[in-house]
Amino acid sequence: MAPEHHAPRPGRRAATAAPEPDAPDPRYYDFRSLLRVTDEGPWLDRLDTAARTWIAEKHGSLGAGLPAVLSGDSFTTRLDGFGGEATRALRLTLAESGDQGEWLTEALGVEDSGGGGWLSVIVRNSEQRFGNRPRLVPRLLEELTILDGASDLDDATWVIGKDHFREFAAVLADEGRRAPVFVTAARPGQDPEQVREWMERRSRELAGLAHSYVLDHEANALLMHHLGKSMGVRPGSIRSFAPSPVPFDAQDALRHRRIGVARLETLPVRAAAALVGRIARFEAWATEEPVGLREARRVFDRRALSEQFRVGRRARGTGHPGPETPPTGIRPTGPSEPVLPRTAEHDGSPVRSSPRTPREGSAAPAPVLTPSSPMYPGPAKPDDAGAVTSPRTATPPKDPRPAAGAERSGDGGEAQGPSPLTPTGSAADPALAALLEATGTGSLEEALDWARTMSEVLEDAERDALDRQAHAERMADATEELERSRAGLERELAREIDRRHTAESNARALSSFAPGGTSGPSDVDAPGHPADEPFPEQFSDIPIMALDLERYVEFTGDPATTEALDEYDTNTVGAKRCWEGLLALYDYARARAEGVHDEGLYGYLRTTPSGYAGFGVSHYAARESETTTARRDLADQRLLPVPAAVDPAGHVHMWAHLKLTQVGRISPRLHFHDDVGGTGKVYVGYIGRHLGTSGG
């Protein structure tokens, strides 16, 4: 009896690429452009003007001076700066909320004392949406002189023939270059202008992030002549050259990512442009940020944190709530501003009404209640004699605490009357009554104690918050360093896999000549055996290379799903590990056919026969968890295609899978069906991102 199965529910597409439980890597979606400004003399004024113009077009005019703040129902923006003898800095922050989550934009410029400096523009989304380049960037490219190394960073796609190849080679080799160079190539006899139009449609998300070029056939040949065949660009593909390529180094070639022909042919133009844009964004985040930018941002962030506590102390002192903190994570920065009353002439910036009207011509800051403060929460003013008096009375109130022994008269009778500052008398003074009500105390002395305590609590909290922020900054630096180390180790692992593969191929070839070696025909010794072929450089190579495995392994999955892993496999380790798994399945079926092994895959992986490819047994799972198999939607994801000779329905549940190495922040899987006992083959129905589970 055929095994029980069921087809996907009609009218609903099986989610064969369900979301990974892990969070997506924001480096593929967040926009970050690092621009080196080479203008002589001060240039931050032009950044200031461009930023104000951009905000005015989106939300309205910012007030004059710095800091300048503007907010509305769905946005908050702030323009702030600081300056010193060595550097000046200006930062624009914009937080916008809407149906697509919260968008955070930061434009940060740091100007050196003699001119020049760095400019950073960052766009993030709370829901990991793709961050398009803000219109501010092309304006800055027009207003400022910006270079990437010795080259302009513009929006154009340039065609390179042999006459201009030296200029293109100089861009690739420029030690000052930080942005990637995206390149495609024309076929022999193909019009390069036609290819340029093709490239422009797919490179529209590169503006401000990368360079874009088209090589004609002769220029591509010169590229391989000067850098090696492994650095060539296949026509119809797109290659991203990272800074400082190493000539004639096949391992370094793996660092310069490729989007294969098959992948680009299966994608609509807009999807291909988004893929190119995601890779450009990842490469931009992989570039180390200049120290000056990082330190300036941290200065602004520390000032923003201190500003929150200053607002809190002012609110505690007046009994009125301070301005609301923007819910987006962008915080105000800079020194405290006077708290102004709302007027019809105000520009709309978020303000808090003052408890009292300031004197004409002045804007009094909200007072902080301390033991030396006037007893009424309002601004004091000098009288004609110059003495400070309350705005309500020309004579200071009496001390609310009676002198020792003054509770009663000297003859033992009642006191002369209640103090005007006791709870009883407070009802006659609305300001004092409001203060006592706000603090929940019964006398001015208790209110002062409460204020002192709250002030100490806020000071302790501020110190603790600043310490935590400093710790977070240290952790961010350490994380960045670890990320660079991890990338280097992954590249070294890819090289080691290739070296081991070459050594095993040589050992198999030499074994037939050794005394007692096998002399009969054997698949593993025959030329063209898949174990002796070069490993794939990316996942998109695997569906094509799998055709060489069809004697024992047949790939029945969707090539596009497999090719999509190229976006995350930045150091080709995942593709190599996947190929090792396929070779192990191939040799498992071969060993069973040749009578070398008579157990299942688990036993084969535990005791792999000599001369046959193996795979880590800990990376093999024969089944899924019961919670996954019990859910219809999750089971449908694993209902994958097989030939009718295996099952007349054309699909079976492929619970068994190989766990490929971690690729970025995703964990690819290879799902297969073992039919060695029937058709003699293993059928691989899925190579792609981790399918859905009951946990996410």
Listing DSSP states for 153-167 in one string gives: --S-EEEE-GGGHHH
Decide which of 252 and 226 is more confident: 226
Domain covering 26-146: architecture: 2-Layer Sandwich (3.30)
Alpha-carbon distance of 256 to 243, in angstroms, equals: 9
Model confidence at 426: pLDDT above 50: no
pLDDT in tens, 321-330: 444 443 333 3
User: Taking the domains of the chain in order of start, what are their residue ranges?
Assistant: 26-146, 149-289, 371-380+421-520, 527-688
Q: Locate tokens 């000032």: which residue?
A: 303
This prediction has a pTM of: 0.65
**Token code pair at residue 453:** 């305590």
Residue 15 CA to residue 639 CA, distance in Å, equals 11
* Per-residue confidence band for 357, with pLDDT thresholds at 50, 70 and 90: very low
Looking at residue 111, its pLDDT comes to: 93
CATH number 3.40.30.10 given to 149-289 = yes
> 334-346 pLDDT, tens per residue?
333 332 233 333 3
Per the CB < 8 A criterion, the answer to whether 212 and 182 are in contact is: yes
Predicted confidence band of residue 425 (pLDDT cuts 50, 70, 90): very low
pLDDT at 187 exceeding the cut of 60? yes
Question: What SS3 state is found at 377?
Answer: coil
Asked whether the beta carbons of 477 and 297 are under 8 A apart, the reply is: no
Per-residue tokens: 642: 């097989």
pLDDT for the residue numbered 353 = 33
CB-based contacts of 79: which residues, under 8 Å, 6+ apart?
48, 51, 52, 55, 62, 66, 67, 68, 69, 90, 91, 92
> What does the pLDDT read at residue 96?
96
Q: Please compute the mean of the pLDDT values over residues 18-47 and round it to a whole number.
A: 80
What is the structure's pLDDT at 432?
A: 79
Average pLDDT for residues 93-104, to the nearest whole number? 94
Q: For the ranges 145-149, 214-218, 408-412, 559-563, which has the lowest average pLDDT?
A: 408-412
Instruction: Compute the average pLDDT of residues 287-310.
Output: 84
Least confident residue range of 177-181, 260-264, 358-362, 443-447: 358-362
Give the per-residue pLDDT at 440: 80
Burial of residue 281, with CB atoms counted within 10 A of its CB: 0-12 exposed, 13-18 middle, 19 or more buried: buried
**What is residue 223's predicted lDDT score, i.e. its pLDDT?**
95
Mean of pLDDT values over 28-54: 92
Q: What is the 3-state secondary structure (H, E, C) of 106-123?
A: EEEEEEECCEEEEEEEEE
Q: Is the model's pLDDT at 17 over the cut of 60?
A: no
Q: Which residues does residue 158 pair with via DSSP β-bridges, in sequence order?
A: 213
Is the pLDDT confidence value at 651 over 50?
Answer: yes
Q: Report how far residue 643's alpha carbon sits from residue 680's, in angstroms, rounded to the nearest whole number.
A: 13
Distance CA 490, CA 382 (A): 73
Query: If you average pLDDT over residues 590-605, what whole number do you get?
Result: 93
For residue 67, say if its preceding peptide bond is cis, omega within 30 degrees of 0. Answer: yes
Other Cβ atoms less than 10 A from the Cβ of 662: the count is 15
Confidence label for 152 from pLDDT (cuts 50, 70 and 90): confident
Residue indicated by tokens 């603090």 = 439
- In this predicted structure, the answer to whether residue 90 has a pLDDT above a threshold of 60 is yes
The answer to which of 221-235, 340-354, 539-553 has the lowest mean pLDDT is: 340-354
Q: What angle do CA 173, 174, 175 make, to 5 degrees?
A: 105
CA trace torsion 596, 597, 598, 603 (10° rounding)? 170
Asked if 251 contacts 493 with a C-beta cutoff of 8 angstroms, the reply is: no
What mean pLDDT comes out for the span 508-513?
61
Cβ–Cβ < 8 Å for 670, 572: no
Model confidence at 541, pLDDT cuts 50, 70, 90, reads: confident
Q: How high is the pLDDT of residue 188? A: 93
Least confident of 39-43, 510-514, 638-642: 510-514
461-472: average pLDDT: 78
